[in-house]
Chains A and B, each alone.
Chain A
Amino acid sequence: MTIHHLTEDDLVLHYYGEMTGAEEAAAAAHLGTCSACRREYTQLQRVLGVIDERSVSDIDLPPSFERTVWARLEPDLRKERRGWISWLLTSPAPLGLAAAVIVLVAGSFYAGRVLSPPSPPVAAPSTAATEQIRERILLVDLGDHLDRSQMVLVELVSGEDSGDIDISAERARAEQLVADNRLYRQTAEQTGDVAVSDLLDEIERVLTEVAASPEKVSSADLAEVRRRIESGDLLFKVRVVSSEVRERRKETLQRKTGQRS
């Protein structure tokens, strides 16, 4: 007589209670009589039993963790709060939208009455051109962002270094830069630009730390920030990537000019 042992996958399904009623009953009955499968199942239970939540995310978080999370989050929340209200109150967009609707309604009315012959449709910009424009805007923005980040880093590295040091100005600018940096980093990650995303990740860590600091820091705390900037050659890397971005910006501009002529 052939004995059908339970496979490893069967045992996993049994362990997690993922078998159907009939399968479950058959597996339980088999485990009751087959010592080889029972041994195998006990082994599986032992391995899965030691994998607990702590063992999987056993990572030491610094005491300042919550403060750092808040420093990264707060600028985005501020934008959220401002979002709709400021858009309605200060942006020309709602007025523009209203004007567009009026023009559209009036235009349709006029067109309906006058019945002028249809004019040829205006050619929409090609996808490639749109992509180029998008890339150029992104590069301009990223270049500016790197320049602004570089200035904050330079000020942190070259400022005074004794007693309590007032870094309120750098802190305020770091707060503004953190949220933008995060968006640029995620864009770079999504487009597979590893060099840029790695650099932005390093910048973000320093900016977040500065944004989460009090307005006055001790020279020891500032020395720690400086050590992080200097040990990773962060300023040098920012300069290199910044100049690469400028080159890429120039190239896209040249491509665009070449297409026009």
Chain B
Amino acid sequence: MPQTDAAAVALARDGDSEAFRALVERHSRAVFRLAHRMTGNATDAEDVVQETFLKAYRQLSRFESRANFGTWLHRIAINCSIDLIRSRPHREAAHDSTDLEQFGAAEAADAGRPSPERLMLSSEVQERITSAMSALSQMERAAFVLRHFEGQSIDEISRALGLKTNAAKHSIFRAVRKMRLALEPFMTQPNAEGLSAPGTRAEG
């Protein structure tokens, strides 16, 4: 197995399928996790993994050997995720009708259940985050992931998702509002203080 990605890419370009297999084995988990963050479900994420590596294989000759293969693949995976999300507008309509107030009431009622002790467990918080994320519409989720994790600007997100700037902005606002409604009840409890890890991106 080639030691580095650069060596594997060079061999794969010459038709060595085992070298490409090494690249798949090294990067498929990261690609899956990214795709799962973007799409919100495992089946779609698997399809994105497949498309990402197929595209990478077809475009290997265009890959600049000085660049980082993982970063290059990451960009392809984001584009494949966006293509998949954009190809399914019908799912969006159903999600977008989610009433924020209803959402908040359900989440708040749910939040009343676990004891403060249980909240100390980070897995519990992770579960809450996962469930809140899965309640976002696909477009809200994609816009939020691109802004929050990928650091893309709202302008970039609107271009990528084929939305007007205002629509992209509002997708992010709605996503943040839903995440707050889902998570804030935990954050206000004294025992949950330790769970917060403020990540200031634009210090006020």
Contact = CB atoms under 8 A, between A and B. Distances in A.
A54 B20 CA distance: 27
Where chain A touches its partner, the secondary structure class is: helix
Interface size class of A (residues with CB under 8 A): 35 or more
Nearest to A73: B53
Interface in B1-33: 15, 17, 20-21, 24-25, 28-29, 32-33
B199 A12 contact: no
A69 B196 CA distance: 36
A47 interface: yes
B50 interface: yes
B85 to A, nearest CB: 13
Contacts of B184: 43, 47
Interface stretch (A56-64, A95-103, A131-139): A56-64
B198 A49 contact: yes
Interface stretch (A15-23, A121-129, A149-157, A252-260): A15-23
Contact of B90 (A31, A42, A192): A192
A77 B54 CA distance: 7
Contact of A31 (B32, B58, B199, B204): B204
B86 interface: no
Nearest to B122: A55
Interface in A70-128: 70, 72-74, 76-77, 80-81
B36 A201 contact: no
B74 interface: no
B201 A15 contact: yes
A47 B180 contact: yes
A50 B202 contact: no
Interface string B141-163: 00001011100011000000000
Interface of B: 15, 17, 20-21, 24-25, 28-29, 32-34, 36-37, 42-43, 46-47, 49-50, 53-54, 57-58, 87, 90, 125-126, 129-130, 133, 145, 147-149, 153-154, 169, 172-173, 176-177, 179-180, 183-184, 187, 195-202, 204
11 contacts: A31-B204, A38-B204, A46-B196, A46-B198, A47-B179, A49-B198, A54-B126, A55-B129, A58-B126, A66-B24, A201-B43
Interface of A: 8-9, 12-19, 24, 27-28, 31-32, 38, 41-51, 53-59, 61, 65-66, 69-70, 72-74, 76-77, 80-81, 182, 186, 190, 192, 201
